[in-house]
Amino acid sequence: MKKSALAVVFLLALLLLCSCKKGEQSNMELSDNKTVTFVNRVNETDLWILPKTEKNLKTTVWGTAAASKVKTGESRQVPLCDPGDGGLYLIRMIDTDSFYYSANDVALEAGWTIEIKQNDTHQVTAEVKDENGALKKTYEVFSARL
């Protein structure tokens, strides 16, 4: 009886870890290998790219980061889940100086690039470019120290 209960708990935990639509990302649910390129022009950061869903909009628990410890100036391939409401994503980041970054309603597709950068007035933006490098849109990114 104890072994079967332990097996059920293990399977439930595994299902929660593999459920991208629930706001948690791991490499296990990405069977079709969809990725975007993330370019970091702010401090070293952890990055989450979440489907825009009502649940993800209301939570501060995002699961495993899509990319961890992305250094300033580093470019990295990042897994991309199926999009949420309206085909859009939420971008969440926390850097090594305890700054939180947030952008909502971001349109992304596999093969595209998202570059996060800060200008001289400390305004943070996210530039999204298609697979050919053409600018699709620039998004304002909220940032504040935690």
Digit-coded pLDDT (tens) for 55-92 = 999 999 999 999 999 999 999 999 999 998 889 999 99
**pLDDT recorded at residue 121:** 82
**pLDDT recorded at residue 32:** 61
Output the average pLDDT for the chain.
83
Residue 110 Cα distances to 32, 33, 78, angstroms: 10, 9, 10
β-partners of residue 107 are 88
Q: What angle do CA 47, 105, 146 make, to 5 degrees?
A: 45
